[in-house]
Structure 1
Amino acid sequence: MPSKFGKGLNSLRVRFALMSGVFGAAAACAAAWSSSHLHGDLVILGVTCLVILSAAAITYLMTGNLTRPIENLRATTEAIAKGDYETPVNVECLCEVGGLAASFDKMVTRLNANVARIRTLAYEDTITGLPNRAVLEETLDGQRDLSGALLFIDLDHFKQVNDAYGHAAGDMILRAAAKRLLEQGLQIDESENAPDQPALFRFAGDEFVAILPGAGRAEAAVVARRIIEAMNEPFAFGGQMIQIGASVGAAILNEDAYTAEDLIKFADLAMYEAKTQGRGQVVVFDQMMKERAVKRARLTADFVSGLERDELEVHFQPKIRLRDGAISSVEALVRWRHPELGLLFPGDFLEIAAENGLLPKLGQQVMRKSAEYIRHWKKAGSPMVVAINVCPGQFSNEKFADGLILFCLSQQVSPSDFEIELTETVAMQDVDKARRQLERLKSAGFGIAIDDYGIGYSNLSQLYRLPFDHLKIDRSIIETISSDPNAEVLISSVIETAHRLGHTVTAEGVETSQQLEALRRLGCDNVQGYLTGRPAPAEDITSILLKQRTASVKVVAGLDHKTAC
């Protein structure tokens, strides 16, 4: 589209050319008139000065029309440089400067649109349209006199929805859940804008946060239960009904917490407590939970420093070969020798390690200490295979297998001295990836065991695709031998199938003579449990191995230790 600026008399070039022509003509006329009508050099000089001053005055006035738009344009530019994108471009001129101002105005309009888009992305969740975490934190930090409750809402089973139906279904669930939370849970009337209305925010993933101004514990619990009821109703997607749910934690501002950070943290802790109670529950943060949180924070700090001070110990639990009663291998189990609390078991600190990204470092210490004992037992003439548990985070690392191989080289031990235990659930998450990792480990000489078999959803027809040597039946199945008549049928079937596939079988959690005799009768290869040997320090295992080697008799390890797996 042709520009309307700088055309004809609106052109600065035309204007200045005309002005120069007019001044030249005026000067010529004045000179001619002066020479014919005036006499004396001073008079002629005076008339000439008068003409020049008049021309200067007219030029000054006319250039003002040019410089004013430029000044206005400069003022707008400086305002934008200071962050004020709303300052209008006040230039009304059809000359070229007006065209520049119009282009500049278009640029500012586009810039404002981009800034608005950036603000939307920064402060509005793109899936649900709700204010996001940044807005929540600004809201809590910016209103020091705010009182009321904060609800931390987590959608139950949302990950399974994504896995089963895809992210399109997950996004739809999030949008529908946000709508239900607003309309049914919080019962917000969007036509009103009252300051005491509840506010809903998308916090992260499948988590939402609601602020209930002025609400106490009782009101917060009522709203939370209403939210859970709303989330319990199925969601329709693609002709199917999808069932999720919600768990809600609540914290009260100025009672439980005095800062935004603590308020969110305490409500989050209450939500996790609700999940541990079976999901679909409401938990309001209280003083007891606060004390547990403080204790956990202190334990976390102690664990971090404990890793640096080498406070971790490795105990070993024997696996007994039923054929001859000898120790076939031992499983490495980590313990923490806390300077004040004494010996702590994995249940006391593994979750802390996982939350703080310390599992790899913990695993390295267990491997290093195990390698030390492997060298010691070899030197003593009692070589022993050590089974190491692998966490999902370690196994998912593409360089995990290569890292283990290099570790063995650095520690002067053989890969065949180790048996890698991988849970059935982890192994079946990505069968192709698991197969590649296990093939690399097995080709290097590591033994491979599938741990906790029977608590996942796979069966041996799925597991046979993976290269492994040993199958460990979970304790939850073994403990049913004495109470469920079908248990022996199931265990017998697993043992027979595993043997046909070339795998040995270990039964975990053997605690009674009845279980031991049943497993011996069913053809199980190895047993592991309190009946045949509790986890014990390496020195005790060394004594057992020495007796086993020197006596050359069948030995069933009976270690009198009160430690637990």
Structure 2
Amino acid sequence: MSTLSRDYLFQKLDTGEVRWRVYANELMLHLFGRSGDWQQTVALTGEQFESVSRFGISTSVCSLRVESPEGTLNILLVGRQREPGVWGGTATIASESVKAVVRELRHSLALAKRGALPIRLPAIVGKANSLQLWGRFVPARHGSARATRDALTGLPNRAAAHPRLELALKSAPERRFALLQIGLDNFKRVNEHFGHDAGDRVLQGVSAALKACVGESAMLARIGGDEFIVLAEVDEQYTGLEGLANRLIEALGEPFDIGETKLYTGCSIGIAVSPQHGTTREELARHADMALDAAKCAGKNTYRLFTAEMDDRVSEYVWLDQNLRKSLENPAFELHFQPKISLRNGAVESVEALVRWNSPEKGLLRPDSFIPYAEETGLIVPLGKWALNAAARQARIWKDAGQPLRVGVNLSGRQLRDPRLFADFERALALNDFSESPLDIELTESWLIEDQACALELIEKFHSRGAQVHLDDFGTGYSSLSRLAQLPLDALKMDRSFIDTVQSDVRAQALVRSIATVAKELNIAVIAEGVETAEQGKFLEHIGVEYAQGYLYARPMTAKRFEKWLAAWKTDKPS
């Protein structure tokens, strides 16, 4: 306490006229006079902050022991949460005066009697040595209803639903109960576009629609912002369960009238049944939640019944989360390289860099086993930064050895939206002493379509440093041949799905020939992926495709193995 002495602060606190505030972003107690004539800041310990941050919207009390060079001061804080992240009230000397407590309780009680907030503090206060139990002004049944009912919809809340579910499972273990977890599909967008008042009215409409479907035989509750649960008894054959799920989906597929506007939300449902999918509340709720995630992944507006495979996927997800993060801290990744062959003369001028994860537990893992997870969690950004640095470093090694090669690096949409990407790219070049980029950037179709203006700006930046830009997996997304004319691309990589059937499918041949012709007119090179047979290679060469890569020529391999392969290829390559 540096501003005021302990004795002066003691005198101020003893008057009962001191106010206090605590803010979520700092470990400080702010004390000030009602008239604003003085203020004092006191540092809080983490434990003291936790005590204050537990205050809710009803009045609470805690005592803080504050140390100073002049001695110890025990401060009594009476107050409540004023707004999210802000707590405040009246401060006094602990056990010296109850005047502040009385004032704060009277204010809170007035609000409680009007229904504005509940009283949780069972305080007995004295006035002229007489006792008064303030809690009696709030009927017990009213307080209980507030604790177990959702204020917006009137449905049982989480606090009420969980004990009911536990009781059902424990009291009748021989019976089967289905737990349906319902998540609204588009509620976030409703809130963002129309506002929270409209969102609240939608939730009330959802509640009414669900009630009409469920009836009196099942329990319906709202357990979170846009999540509801239904607990219903079923027989061994789950008779009626599918019908119930479909009725719920159909009901929430109808529009909700909000004033003159019709709002749509829809829902997905995850289902778990006791005892097959769990015998405790925690197990059943966890498995219903997994099933809900599966329903959303399946395209939403549907339901899924829990299966053991879902649990396996979650276990894999947890393993990836723990181990991928560790591997990023102490990189356990390596790049493998697959050559791109010139179909005109057999030369190798560039390679594609592909990330492999050398897991201590599972060995060498291919990208498809961890890249989707890395993209979902954002870990693709630090992983992509590592790949850029590693590719530039290898390009420098090859150039210094007299074998300059271009290295293609794949960038996902998540990386391309990262504002630090181009700075990371330039840093990788600078660290490896490149003024002109030996790296080529391979972009996805979906990202180019999602934000074409941003794509054009980024492509120009890469071009300014000498990088080529390739459109990867062309034909798997939504690009049209006409769109190619709008993008300053250097090459497009024709997806292997076109190449697989090119020997036997006349339509596939016509499509590949058309792509090659249009790309040539636009001065865009074509690289065919997934070439596995000599016949495919000959057809591609015949129609004018410039480059090919695939198992016919070489699999992805480490830098050392690639160097050996390249030496042999130069000796044995077709003329």
How far apart, CA to CA, are the structure 1 residues paired with 2:442 and 2:388? 13
Partner residue, 1:151: 180
Deviation at 1:439, TM superposition (A): 0.8
The size of the alignment, in residue pairs, is 435
Q: Which has the higher strand share?
A: 2
Structure having the higher helix fraction is 1
- Among 315, 340, 361, the alignment partner of 2:361 is 340
Partner of 1:536: helix, strand, or coil? Answer: coil
User: Could you state the TM-score of these two structures normalised by the residue count of structure 2?
Assistant: 0.64
Taking CA–CA contacts closer than 8 Å with sequence separation of 6 or more, which of the two structures ends up with the larger relative contact order? 1
Q: In the TM superposition, what is the alpha-carbon distance from 1:201 to its structure 2 partner?
A: 5.7
Residue in 1 that maps onto 2:231:
212
Equivalent residue, structure 2, for 1:85: 111
Matched residue of 2:111: which SS? coil
Give the AA of the match of 2:414.
G
Q: 1:181 touches 1:230 (CA, 8 Å); kept in 2?
A: no
Whole-Å separation in 2 of the counterparts to 1:411 and 1:140: 59
**2:112 partner letter:** E
Match of 1:443 among 456, 464, 470: 464
Name the CA distance, whole Å, in 2 between partners of 1:426 and 1:492. 26
2: CA distance between counterparts of 1:137 and 1:466? 56
8 Å contact kept, 1:388–1:419: yes
Instruction: Give the 3 Å change call, closer, same or farther, for CA 464–427 of structure 1 in structure 2.
Output: same
Cα RMSD, aligned residues only = 4.4
SS at match of 2:506: coil
Change (3 A) 1:284 1:446: same
In the TM superposition, residue 494 of structure 1 has moved relative to its aligned partner by 1.4
Distance 2:546 2:154 in 1: 59
- 2:448 corresponds to: 427
Match of 2:221 among 186, 190, 199: 199
- 1:266 aligns to 2:287 (yes or no): yes
Q: Distance in 1 between matches of 2:211 and 2:371?
A: 36
1:481 aligns with 2:496: no
Report the alpha carbon displacement of residue 419 of structure 1 after superposing the two structures with TM: 0.5
SS at match of 1:416: coil
Query: Distance between the aligned counterparts of 2:166 and 2:366, measured in 1?
Result: 43
Shift in Å, 1:305? 1.7
Does the alignment pair 1:306 with 2:327? yes
- Tell me the equivalent position of 1:516: 537
Q: 1:437 to 1:233 in 2, by over 3 A?
A: same
8 Å contact from structure 1 (residues 220, 250) kept in 2: no
**Aligned pairs for 1:80-119 within 5 A:** 80=106, 85-87=111-113
Per-residue deviation, residues 383-409 of structure 1 (Å, max 9, x unmatched): 111111111111112342233112211
Q: Does 1:356 align with 2:411?
A: no
Deviation at 1:347, TM superposition (A): 1.9
Structure 2 equivalent of residue 384 of structure 1: 405
Give, in angstroms, the shift of residue 150 of structure 1: 3.5
Distance 1:235 1:75 in 2: 47
The secondary structure found in structure 1 opposite 2:437 is helix
Corresponding residue SS for 1:428: helix
Cα 1:78–1:282, aligned 2, differ >3 Å: closer, same or farther?
closer
Change in 2 beyond 3 A, CA 1:244/1:364: same
Alpha-carbon deviations, 1:229-280, whole Å to 9, x = none?
556789999xxx9999754322347864688776554323223434666766
| Runs (5+) with no aligned partner, structure 1 | 1-72, 90-119, 557-565
Q: Distance in 2 between matches of 1:181 and 1:430?
A: 38
Alignment pair present for 1:554 and 2:568: no
Give the direction of change, closer, same or farther, for the CA distance of 1:420–1:181 in structure 2 (3 Å limit).
farther
The TM-score normalised by the length of structure 1 is: 0.65
Question: Is the partner of 2:408 in helix, strand or coil?
Answer: strand
1:472 & 1:271 partners in 2: Cα distance?
Answer: 37
Given residue 315 of structure 2, which amino acid in structure 1 is its aligned partner?
A: V
In the alignment, residue 427 of structure 1 is paired with which amino acid? L
Tell me the alpha carbon deviations over residues 519-553 of structure 1, each in whole angstroms, 9 at most, x when there is no partner.
1111001111122221111111111233456x4x6
CA contact (8 A) 1:185 1:227 kept: no
Cα deviation, 1:302-342, whole Å, max 9, x if unaligned, reads: 22222233221211111111011122311111111222322
Please show how residues 126-205 of structure 1 align to structure 2 within 5 Å.
Answer: 136=158, 139-140=161-162, 145=167, 147=169, 148-153=177-182, 179=205, 183=209, 187-188=213-214, 196-200=218-222, 203=225
1:539 aligned to 2:568? Answer: no
C-alpha separation in 2, matches of 1:279 and 1:483: 38
The counterpart of 1:401, out of the listed 422, 443, 446, is 422
Q: Which stretches in structure 2 are left out of the alignment for 5+ residues?
A: 1-98, 116-145, 170-176
Alpha-carbon separation, structure 2, partners of 1:74 and 1:173: 40
Q: Secondary structure at the match of 2:364?
A: strand
SS at match of 1:449: strand
Structure 1 match to 2:481:
460
C-alpha change, 1:88 and 1:326, in structure 2 (3 Å) is: closer
Equivalent position of 2:5 in the other structure: none
Please say which structure displays the higher CA radius of gyration.
1
Moved more, 318-327 or 282-291: 282-291
Change in CA separation of 1:475 and 1:209 when aligned onto 2, cut-off 3 Å: farther
Q: Deviations over 1:331-382 (max 9, x none)?
A: 1111112223222112211233234321111112222222222122112211
Q: Please tell me the residue identity of whatever aligns with 1:151.
A: L
Deviation at 1:188, TM superposition (A): 3.9
Aligned to 2:244: 223
